[in-house]
Structure 1
Amino acid sequence: MSIHVMKKVVVGLSGGVDSSVAAATLHHQGYEVVGLTLWLMKGKGQCCSEGMVDAAFICEQLGIPHHIVDSREVFQANIVDYLVSGYESGITPLPCSQCNKTVKFGPMLAYARETLGIDKIATGHYARIRYDAKSDRYQLLRAVDSNKDQSYFLYDLSQELLAASIFPLGELEKTQTRQLAAEYQLKTAAKPESQDLCLVESHGSMRTFLDQYISQTTGDIVDTNGKVLGQHQGIHHYTIGQRKGLGIAAPEPLYVVAIDAGANRVIVGDRASATQPDCTVGRVNWISIHPPTTPIQASVQVRYRSHPVDVTVIPLDGNRMKLIFDQPQFSITPGQAAVLYDGEMLLGGGIIERNQDAV
């Protein structure tokens, strides 16, 4: 007589509808589910006190255990300090992919294995995973719902993390997630969508958050020839490609084309000046394929909401690569992620490096 062994999984619960449905779906599929909430910071927002209360309520509804891990120090060191030092040096860091790898997935899996003896974790991310026997790799795919696809933020996960992860919402449209939440009568069924970064949600705006950490130092706004056009109140208030809020009267639209932290200058120019034929990318992580050794063709997203564009990828030493765009691209922003795709499969990605020619 065979004994049925129930599959166990630790589900990351933020207190939002997506993670709630992920937990409920796995629970209804027969998994033994343990809820885990990471306490990232104080204040409002799904990763904070309010989210923890809702996450606890969901676990109570489902009749599953709920664990809370105080991750505030890890979050401060890996995300807050990372953001502040990035903005101080004149780049625009992307916290979400960094957070997924160093604050969420890695620590979640470690806690699941070491404390609970469970080998699988799940989240409410909209993405899919499949195993490819030919390459012996787990591959990261876009979600079925292209409007909600979050694979871009997961490019930095390792094979180990991908192999241990489940994304129950990857095959669902967002409307189906809401329907399931209502069917399961989850407390979070009608909870509004989180629109911003957790830090922005918590502090009101990125500017307000940064002003708590970075002193506002006045400096020059100059054109590409070095002519002073105005003053800024801190380089951390600006990002490449920005047009609004420059406070400069000019006959043609001006955009931020570079930020020179050393000279405390913001450099502006016309749209052509903010357009590049190529860029270099560092801290590259190849996730779905083995690292290429010769140039490959792919499509790239240079920010979360940008459309993929065709690109030639030239591998460089030291986990770096050069991207040559088929068509020059506007507003290539140092600190943001350049993420490569082949159709629905995410190949890998990295962090856009500063264009030394621009400063």
Structure 2
Amino acid sequence: MNKVVVGLSGGVDSSVAAAALHRQGYDVVGLTLWLMKGKGQCCSEGMVDAAQLCEELEIPHHIVDSRDLFEKNIVDYLVGGYSQGITPLPCSQCNRAVKFGPMLAYARKELGCDRIATGHYARVSHNPDTGRYEMHRAIDRNKDQSYFLYDLSQEVLARVVFPLGNQTKQETRTMAAEFGLHTAEKPESQDLCLVEAHGSMQTFLDQFLAPKEGDIVDQSGRVLGRHTGIHHYTIGQRKGLGIAAPHPLYVVSLDVGRNQVVVGDRSAVHFPECTVQRLNWVSISAPSTPIPIEVQVRYRTKPTPATLIPLENNRARIVFEEPLFGVTPGQAAVWYEGDRLLGGGIIERMS
């Protein structure tokens, strides 16, 4: 019998993933990572729901204390980034460094299993011609989570199963009801786990970064108002600036040295290109010459045509077909060819 370790957050998606594999005859073991204290889907409430699910399915349930790992790789990563005026993306970092890699290592060492599964909406296939494992968008484009999974290694992709990648969210809800799972009607998480646990990203960051007031200035340096700390702002932000102006103003840049938030009109937040670092190539090997791509610079933004130009030191320059709004250092740029995820990296700077 095939054995698979399923990552359980306590939500409906991971619950259905486990139940579906169980129904298909897999020897399923539930695994929940204890990431932090507080109410988040992946924490205390989630662990209780995950344990109850395993009781319903009559499968083993393991809890791994990953709080130190989460603190080092996510909390410190976020706080350090925001203090330097960038807006880090924790989810892809968490998937790589806290969840998938450590899950697979635990499954192998402690459970004698080299197969893991999660409730993420994405698809993985093997290309016999190239020998690479490829990632594709989920069938349900509204739920597709491949953007957050771009940083997974080939080793992980070779061992991971995404049972929900070929179905819609509504089909998942229907399956949960048919399976009689107690999580069938559980509300969907709308925010980062840290935001859910602390109420807002600002509240979370204020525990680590003392408010340091400074000026909000326009691009010529004219003072327009005051801010409570640059870590409260991100490029492209319009709301919450507290400035009266005849036209909408947006955050254009964050000047850490001067402790200033620089604002301008919407056109000033459109960028023709950006530089990306820490690249991870997924469905293809790293190219040596420029290639056409469709790139996303935020999870909910539409893919936009661009050209990727390889640089030294695992970096690349991305030239957009048309200037793109809200490109932000610290966020992920992820590029595709149709539904196939080619690779991704962290935005370093814009120009």
Mark yes or no: TM-score above 0.5. yes
Structure 1 residue 290: Cα displacement: 0.6
- In the alignment, which of 119, 126, 129 is matched to residue 124 of structure 2? 129
Matches within 5 A, 1:193-212: 193-212=188-207
Residue 26 of structure 1 aligns with an amino acid whose one-letter code is: L
Residue 234 of structure 1 aligns with which residue? 229
Whole-Å separation in 2 of the counterparts to 1:16 and 1:254: 38
Residues 1:34 and 2:29 are matched in the alignment: yes
- In the alignment, which of 118, 128, 144 is matched to residue 113 of structure 2? 118
Structure 1 residue 40: Cα displacement: 0.3
Structure 1 residue 227: Cα displacement: 1.3
Residue 343 of structure 1 aligns with which residue? 338
Whole-Å separation in 1 of the counterparts to 2:279 and 2:220: 34
- In the alignment, which of 187, 191, 195 is matched to residue 182 of structure 2? 187
Matches within 5 A, 1:134-173: 134-173=129-168
Unpaired stretches in structure 2, ≥5 consecutive residues:
none
Residues 1:274 and 2:259 are matched in the alignment: no
Whole-Å separation in 2 of the counterparts to 1:228 and 1:234: 15
Whole-Å separation in 2 of the counterparts to 1:347 and 1:121: 22
Residues 1:57 and 2:52 are matched in the alignment: yes
Structure 1 residue 225: Cα displacement: 1.1
Residue 177 of structure 1 aligns with which residue? 172
Deviations 1:150-208 (A, max 9, x none): 00000000000100100000001000000110111011011010111000010111111
- In the alignment, which of 71, 78, 81 is matched to residue 73 of structure 2? 78
Residues 1:286 and 2:272 are matched in the alignment: no
Matches within 5 A, 1:98-113: 98-113=93-108
Structure 1 residue 226: Cα displacement: 1.1
Unpaired stretches in structure 1, ≥5 consecutive residues:
1-5
Residue 209 of structure 1 aligns with an amino acid whose one-letter code is: F
Structure 1 residue 271: Cα displacement: 1.3
Residue 181 of structure 1 aligns with an amino acid whose one-letter code is: A
Structure 1 residue 270: Cα displacement: 1.2
- In the alignment, which of 56, 62, 68 is matched to residue 63 of structure 2? 68
Number of matched residues? 351
Whole-Å separation in 2 of the counterparts to 1:300 and 1:289: 15
RMSD of Structure 2 on Structure 1 (CA): 0.7
> Residue 103 of structure 2: SS of its match in structure 1?
helix
Structure 1 residue 336: Cα displacement: 0.5
Whole-Å separation in 2 of the counterparts to 1:251 and 1:197: 34
> Residue 322 of structure 2: SS of its match in structure 1?
strand
Structure 1 residue 354: Cα displacement: 2.6
Residues 1:300 and 2:325 are matched in the alignment: no
Residue 306 of structure 2 aligns with which residue? 311
In the superposition, the TM-score normalised over structure 1's length comes to 0.97
Structure 1 residue 229: Cα displacement: 1.1
Residues 1:24 and 2:22 are matched in the alignment: no
> Residue 353 of structure 1: SS of its match in structure 2?
strand
Structure 1 residue 213: Cα displacement: 1.0
Q: What fraction of aligned residue pairs are identical, expressed as a percent? A: 70
Residues 1:244 and 2:247 are matched in the alignment: no
> Residue 82 of structure 1: SS of its match in structure 2?
helix
> Residue 210 of structure 1: SS of its match in structure 2?
helix
Whole-Å separation in 2 of the counterparts to 1:271 and 1:182: 46
> Residue 93 of structure 1: SS of its match in structure 2?
coil
Whole-Å separation in 1 of the counterparts to 2:246 and 2:61: 59
Deviations 1:114-140 (A, max 9, x none): 111100000000000000011110000
- In the alignment, which of 249, 253, 260 is matched to residue 255 of structure 2? 260
Residue 208 of structure 2 aligns with which residue? 213
In the superposition, the TM-score normalised over structure 2's length comes to 0.99
Deviations 1:74-95 (A, max 9, x none): 0011001100111110001000
Residues 1:320 and 2:315 are matched in the alignment: yes
Whole-Å separation in 1 of the counterparts to 2:240 and 2:191: 20
Whole-Å separation in 1 of the counterparts to 2:197 and 2:239: 24
Deviations 1:212-270 (A, max 9, x none): 11100001111111111111000011000111111111222211000011211111111
Whole-Å separation in 2 of the counterparts to 1:223 and 1:283: 32
Residue 349 of structure 1 aligns with an amino acid whose one-letter code is: G
- In the alignment, which of 315, 318, 333 is matched to residue 328 of structure 2? 333
Residue 275 of structure 1 aligns with an amino acid whose one-letter code is: H
Residue 294 of structure 1 aligns with an amino acid whose one-letter code is: T
> Residue 139 of structure 1: SS of its match in structure 2?
strand
Deviations 1:6-47 (A, max 9, x none): 000000000000000000000011100000000000010111
Residue 120 of structure 2 aligns with an amino acid whose one-letter code is: H
Which sits farther off after the overlay, 224-233 or 100-109? Answer: 224-233
